[in-house]
Structure 1
C-alpha cells in the first residue's frame, strides 16, 4: 500500500476545513484521516487501489476549488508516508475520518471574526427553527473568532464558549462532519448557550413584556424608537446606539460621549435602507455584504434615493456627520444586530462604546461603570469578549477598496511577505503612537494586530501591552529582534527599548516615513531585491532621521535604505503640540513664512481670516518663531491642510480629532472639483543638502486674493487640492526621470484624501509610471508597523545592524 501525508498551511482552522476535506476525500474514494495541529491541517490519505495518484490529485484539485468561504490555503505540501506504524494505522482505515486536534508548535493562524452568514440569518428569522431569534447563532462559515479565542489550536476549550457546555442537539451538530456546525467552536442554542438581557443604567433588569416586547432585543428596539440611547454588547466590544434620524437623540449622544465633531458611524438593516442615504455601487454592495462587513465610507445623497410606501426616508439628524459629503455605514454583522434592526427602515447610529478616544468597553461590569452615564439602557449578554476588536473602516479610492482601519473582519489574518523574506527570523515591530498596531513576523508572514488606538491615552496603552502579550502567546512567537520608530518619546518605542534591554535583543530603529514606504512595498508584494522606488509620504508629522519633524517627503528607497530627495518646505509649529490642535497657529506660521505677517495684515486689513488672526496672541507666537522656542520646524503636509482650512474658517477653532480640518477641507472641495481649472501655484527651491523643496509661498497670495474677491470657499478648497496634486505630480515626474525610476509609492494619512490620491494617481498613470498604493493595511499610521517589520527583516537578512 502507498500513502502520503499532505500538509495544508494557511487559515484552515475553525472555518469548516476538515469537514470539507472529509467530504471530498470520501467523494474521491480515499481512505485516511485529517486533523488540526499547530501548523495547520494534516491529511493522510491512501486510495482504495494502491498507488491511486489520480484519486489524490483530483481530491487536491477539488480542495482548492471548493475551499470553505472563510478559509485561505497558502501552501499544500505532499510527501510519501514511509513510517511503518503510520502505514499500519492507515491500512486499518475502512473510510476517511476526522481526528482530534494535536497540540504541537503553533505555525497556523487565527481567522478574523466573520459576519453572520445567510443560512444563520434565515434560521433566526424562521419561527419554526429551534434558533428562532437566538442572538448567538453561528456556524463554521460565520461568527466570532479572534474576539473569543484564548489560544490555538482553535478548539472550544480555548475560547470563551468553554463556559457553555453544549446540549445534546448542539453536540450532535458539532460531531457530525456532514453538518455545517461540525466543530463550530461557538456553536450554541437557546437551551445551552449565552443569554441576552436588558437593564437600565442603575443595573436593574427590565422585563420585556413591560414594553410589550417578546424579548430583550425587541424591547431594546422599542426604546431606540422612543429616542433612548442604548449601550449594546456585540462581538468585539460595545456600541452606543440611537435613532440616526432623531436630532435630539444624536445631539444628546454627542454631548454624553464628548464627541463633538467626528462623524458617527451608522448601521442599516439592508442595502435598500442604505441606498436611501448613500450612493451604492455593485462593489460597495459586495464589500458591505461580505464576511468582513466593515464600515464603508460612501458618498452621501441625503434623503434622495429609494422610496418606501410612497414616502422618502426621513432625513438624518444634522449632527450625524456635520459638513461631510460622505457617511460611514455598515450592515448588521451579528444576530443581535439583525434582530435589533429587523423593523427599522432608517439607520441607527452605531458608534464605539466609550468616552471619546478611550478604548471600547468589552466587559459588562466595566460597561455599567463607564457607559452607565452615557446610555439610558444596556443590552448585555454573558458571552465574554476576550479580545477587543473595533469595527474596520474601508473607503473605495482609485478603483480599489482600501482599509483606513484594520480590525474586525480582517485582523489577525496574516499577510504573506514578498519574495525574499521567506527566511526572515521571528520579529516584533511595535508601531507608532497614533492609530497604533503592532506586527509579528513569522514563517514569511506578517501578523498585524487589530487597530488599538492612540497610545497617548493611558487606558489604550495598557490595552496595547495586554494585546501584545496575548499575540506573542497566541502565535508562540519569540522575537529575535525588535523594530521601533525613531521618535524618542513614542510609548511604543519606549516599550520596545525596555523589552530589548530586558531580553538582550537587537533594537532596529526605522524612520517613520521610511516605514510608510516599506509598508506600501510589502502591501504590494514588492520583492526584497526589486530595487528602489520613489515614495511620496504625506502625513501629519514623523520624527526625521535628522532630528527634525517631517511630513511631506519624497524618499528614493527600498526596504533597506532611503535618500530624502525632496520635501515640503519646513514651516514653524508655534506652540508645538498646540499647533496640531489649533489650526489658526499654522495659518499664522505659513503667512509669516510667506512674506511676513505684517505685510499680509497691511495688504488685506479687514479681511475675515486676517481679522480672526488679529485677535490672537500673535506677538508671542512671533517671538517663539523668531527665537526657535517651542516652535519646531516641520515639513508637515497635514499642517498645510490645517492652515488652508483655517483661512477658510472650516474644521473648527480647536480640533477634537486627528485630521478634522483636513477632512472638512476635502468635503468642501469635493463639491467644486469639476469647476476648477488650474490650481494654486507652488514654487521649487533647493535645500541645504541639495534636495528639492516644494514651497507653498505662491499659493498664499492667490488664495488670500481669492478670499478677498469673494470667491466661493468650495472653489478655493478645490483649487488648493488641484494645485497641490499638480505640484506633487510634477516634482515626482522630474525626480523619476532624473533617477531612472519607473515606480512611485504613495502613503501617509494625507493620502486617505480621495481627491488628492486619485488626482496624483491619474497623473502618474498617464505618464506611464507604476503606482503602488496601500490596500490591505492603512496608509495612515495603522500601517506603520508592517513597514517597520519589513524594513527590520530586510536588515537582519542582509546582516545590517539597525539601532
Structure 2
C-alpha cells in the first residue's frame, strides 16, 4: 500500500491512537486508495462508479470476466448459465475437471449443499478457502459446473471486488477458476493477464494494487470432524508448522518437493515454512514461479539454508534444481516423505507403520512405487509390504489411458495371453468387458508390447490399480485431468445400496522379508461380477472395501512381526474419502492407533514437509 499516499482524512485516522484505524496499514478511501478499471483486449478502460453494475450485467448476459484478486486472476461467469459455463470450458480447454464457485454467503451455499457446523466454520473462516461440500441435488446446478460430481467446491467472497460482483448478479453464484492457460501457473501481473486471457475472457477487471507473489486459492474439506487439507495456499501460507524437538538445534534446510502439485519447504529454527501451491513443474513459467517463490521466502524470513532435500527421481525438475545449488544434497524417497509429512502433521515421533498409496513415486529399486507399507521413522523407513509389480504399457501413456492398465491387470490375472480367448470359467474378455470399446489393433499392440517387454516399466502403484478397475467397469478409458478415473470410481461407490458389503479376495505372500500383495484373484472376481451383471456401484463399493481389508490384513501382519501399533495413512490415493474412512474404521476396530492428515495435504503438496523433516533429523546437532 505504500504507493497510495493517504489523503488528510485517512492520515488523521491513521495517526489518531483513539481511532479504530490507528496504524491500520490498508487504511484508504475512494480518494486515496486503489482504483479499479475494466479493460477489453485493446486495453480500453472503463473506470466510473457504476463498474460493478455493468460487470453484473455482462456476467448475467453470459459473458466471461477475468478478475484480479489478491493472489492472481480468476476467470468468472454466472454459475447458473449453462451456456456460459460451457463456453468457459471450451475456451480454457478444461473438459471435465470440476469448477469451484463463489457464493454470496452461507445461506446461498446452504440452498445447494449440505453443510455441517464444522464445514460452515471452514467456509466462514478468515482463511476463506474453497470447501468441498456435498450437493443436496446434482440437478440444482448446470451439470457443466462439476460434471458427475456429488461434491461442489464453494468459497465466500474474500475481497471487496468479489463482494461487489457477487451482489451485482441475481444468482449470487459465480464460477471462479484460476486465470491461466492449461498447465501454466495463475497469472498475477496485469500485462500477462491482458495478453494471455484475451482469448478466454470477454473483459478484464483490474485494480492498481500490485500483487507481489502469485497465490492460488486453498482447498479443504471435513473428514470425521477434522479439517483435511487438499491444497494449502492462500490464507494458510506462510504460517509455519512449529516442531518441538526438546531444545535440539535443527539445521537450515530447503526441501524442494516433488514434480506434481509442487510446494517447497524452508526451515528456520523450529519452524517449518511450507510454500504456497506452485503447481506441476512441467514448463518454464512454473519453474520460474518455483525459483521466484524460494527467493521470496528467503527474503521475508531473512534466512538461507545449508542443506537441500529433494526427491530421488533423477528427472524431476525440482531434483535437478537442487543439484544446481552447490549445497549438501539429501535425497528422500518419495513415499518416505509422504509418511514423514503425516507424522509431522500429527506431531509424532518414534517409529510407525506407514501406508503410502499414490500414483507415481520413484522407488529405491528404480521401479515405480505407489502401493507401499513401511516401518520406521524420520531417520529411515524399511519397506514391509507392497502391491505386486504390474507392467505399465507405454509408461506415462498408461496414466492417461487407464484401459492400458486394465489390460495389464487382466493379463496378469486371466490365463491365455491376456484373455484373448477365454479363461477357465468361459469368460470372453473382449466380449464381456470394457475391451469392446477399444480398437482391436490398439489392444493387440499393447499385448505385443507386454509380451516383448517393450516400453513397459513395472509399478506397484495403488493409483494404477484404481485406474484399471475404473476401466474394467467401463467408467473411464481415457482421462482429461489427473486422477479422473479413480475419482469417478469413488463417486460410483456412493451410489451403492448394498447393506452388507462382501470384499473380494486378495492374497498376500511373504518373500524375502517383505509381504507381496497379489491382485490376481481380485481382478478375476471383479471381471466375474461384471459378467454376472452386478451393479457397477456395488462392484465399486466392494472393491473399496477390499482395499481397506487389505490394509488391515497387512498392518496386522506387520504389527505381529514388529510390535508397532501406530498406523500413518498418506499419499494422494487417500484423498479418496470412501477408502480413507473405511481404512480408519477397520484399523481402529482392531485396536490400531490411526493417524491421517489435517494441516498438510496427503497428496504431493505435502511431501516437501516430509523431506525437510527427514533431512533435519539426519543432520541434527
TM-score (normalizing by structure 1):
0.74
CA deviation string 1:160-205 (max 9, x = no partner): x121111122223323344443333222211101101112233222
C-alpha displacement at 1:787, in angstroms?
0.1
Tell me if the contact between 2:242 and 2:272 (Cα under 8 Å) persists in the aligned partners.
yes
- 1:375 paired residue number: 201
Q: What are the equivalent positions in structure 2 for 1:127-206 lying under 5 Å apart?
A: 161-206=1-46
CA distance in 2, matches of 1:183, 1:752: 43
- What secondary structure is seen at the aligned counterpart in 1 of 2:324? helix
- What secondary structure is seen at the aligned counterpart in 1 of 2:468? helix
- State whether structure 2 residue 455 is matched by structure 1 residue 630: yes
CA deviation string 1:635-692 (max 9, x = no partner): 00110111011112223x33221111111111111121654511222111234x3300
- State whether structure 2 residue 143 is matched by structure 1 residue 321: no
CA distance in 2, matches of 1:628, 1:464: 37
Tell me which moved more, 167-176 or 405-414. 167-176
Cα distance change, pair 172–676 in 1 and its aligned pair in 2 (3 A): farther
- 2:178 paired residue number: 352
CA distance in 2, matches of 1:422, 1:245: 56
- 1:588 paired residue number: 407
- 2:392 paired residue number: 573
C-alpha displacement at 1:432, in angstroms?
0.4
- 2:550 paired residue number: 727
- 1:495 paired residue number: 321
Tell me if the contact between 1:402 and 1:774 (Cα under 8 Å) persists in the aligned partners.
yes
CA distance in 1, matches of 2:265, 2:138: 42
Cα distance change, pair 418–623 in 1 and its aligned pair in 2 (3 A): farther
C-alpha displacement at 1:207, in angstroms?
6.5
- What secondary structure is seen at the aligned counterpart in 2 of 1:163? coil
C-alpha displacement at 1:346, in angstroms?
4.3
CA deviation string 1:324-363 (max 9, x = no partner): 1111111111111111112544421001111122111111
- State whether structure 2 residue 492 is matched by structure 1 residue 668: yes
- What secondary structure is seen at the aligned counterpart in 2 of 1:241? strand
Tell me if the contact between 1:418 and 1:526 (Cα under 8 Å) persists in the aligned partners.
no
CA deviation string 1:387-438 (max 9, x = no partner): 1010000021132111100001101101102425741021110000000000
CA distance in 1, matches of 2:533, 2:262: 42
Count of residues in correspondence between the two structures = 614
Residue from 298, 304, 317 that aligns with 1:478: 304
CA distance in 2, matches of 1:548, 1:420: 38
Residue from 528, 535, 540 that aligns with 1:717: 540
Tell me if the contact between 1:676 and 1:715 (Cα under 8 Å) persists in the aligned partners.
no
- 2:291 paired residue number: 465
- 1:655 paired residue number: 479
CA distance in 2, matches of 1:399, 1:445: 27
- State whether structure 2 residue 618 is matched by structure 1 residue 795: yes
C-alpha displacement at 1:303, in angstroms?
6.7
Tell me if the contact between 1:487 and 1:493 (Cα under 8 Å) persists in the aligned partners.
yes
CA distance in 2, matches of 1:418, 1:264: 39
Residue from 737, 744, 748 that aligns with 2:571: 748
C-alpha displacement at 1:586, in angstroms?
0.5
Tell me if the contact between 1:269 and 1:345 (Cα under 8 Å) persists in the aligned partners.
no
Residue from 123, 128, 141 that aligns with 1:288: 123
- 1:58 paired residue number: none
> Which structure would you say has the larger Rg?
1
Cα distance change, pair 635–180 in 1 and its aligned pair in 2 (3 A): farther
Residue from 97, 103, 124 that aligns with 1:262: 97
Tell me if the contact between 1:246 and 1:316 (Cα under 8 Å) persists in the aligned partners.
no
- What secondary structure is seen at the aligned counterpart in 2 of 1:551? strand
CA deviation string 1:12-53 (max 9, x = no partner): xxxxxxxxxxxxxxxxxxxxxxxxxxxxxxxxxxxxxxxxxx
Tell me if the contact between 1:217 and 1:379 (Cα under 8 Å) persists in the aligned partners.
no
- 1:339 paired residue number: 164
TM-score (normalizing by structure 2):
0.96
- 1:99 paired residue number: none
Q: What are the equivalent positions in structure 2 for 1:50-129 lying under 5 Å apart?
A: none
Tell me if the contact between 1:421 and 1:444 (Cα under 8 Å) persists in the aligned partners.
no
- State whether structure 2 residue 324 is matched by structure 1 residue 519: no
- What secondary structure is seen at the aligned counterpart in 1 of 2:619? helix
Tell me if the contact between 1:553 and 1:564 (Cα under 8 Å) persists in the aligned partners.
yes
- 2:87 paired residue number: 252
Tell me if the contact between 2:410 and 2:524 (Cα under 8 Å) persists in the aligned partners.
no
Cα distance change, pair 421–242 in 1 and its aligned pair in 2 (3 A): farther
C-alpha displacement at 1:519, in angstroms?
0.4
- What secondary structure is seen at the aligned counterpart in 2 of 1:586? helix
Tell me if the contact between 1:673 and 1:718 (Cα under 8 Å) persists in the aligned partners.
no
Cα distance change, pair 172–650 in 1 and its aligned pair in 2 (3 A): farther
Residue from 547, 566, 570 that aligns with 2:366: 547
CA deviation string 1:46-75 (max 9, x = no partner): xxxxxxxxxxxxxxxxxxxxxxxxxxxxxx
Cα distance change, pair 484–207 in 1 and its aligned pair in 2 (3 A): closer
Tell me which moved more, 604-613 or 583-592. 604-613
- 1:297 paired residue number: 132
- 1:134 paired residue number: none
CA distance in 2, matches of 1:726, 1:642: 19
Q: Structure 1: any 5+ residue segments left out of the alignment?
A: 1-160, 209-213, 305-314, 799-803
Tell me if the contact between 2:240 and 2:271 (Cα under 8 Å) persists in the aligned partners.
yes
CA distance in 1, matches of 2:505, 2:452: 30
C-alpha displacement at 1:629, in angstroms?
2.7
- What secondary structure is seen at the aligned counterpart in 1 of 2:46? coil
C-alpha displacement at 1:561, in angstroms?
0.6
- 2:231 paired residue number: 405
Cα distance change, pair 303–579 in 1 and its aligned pair in 2 (3 A): closer
Tell me if the contact between 2:498 and 2:538 (Cα under 8 Å) persists in the aligned partners.
no
Residue from 578, 583, 599 that aligns with 1:760: 583
CA distance in 1, matches of 2:385, 2:435: 31
Residue from 426, 433, 437 that aligns with 1:612: 437
Tell me if the contact between 2:118 and 2:225 (Cα under 8 Å) persists in the aligned partners.
no
Tell me which moved more, 420-429 or 487-496. 420-429
- 1:95 paired residue number: none
CA distance in 2, matches of 1:583, 1:261: 16
Tell me if the contact between 2:183 and 2:282 (Cα under 8 Å) persists in the aligned partners.
no
Cα distance change, pair 239–601 in 1 and its aligned pair in 2 (3 A): farther
CA deviation string 1:570-609 (max 9, x = no partner): 1111001111111111001111111345436422242141
Q: Structure 2: any 5+ residue segments left out of the alignment?
A: none
Tell me if the contact between 1:552 and 1:636 (Cα under 8 Å) persists in the aligned partners.
yes
C-alpha displacement at 1:769, in angstroms?
1.6
- What secondary structure is seen at the aligned counterpart in 2 of 1:162? coil
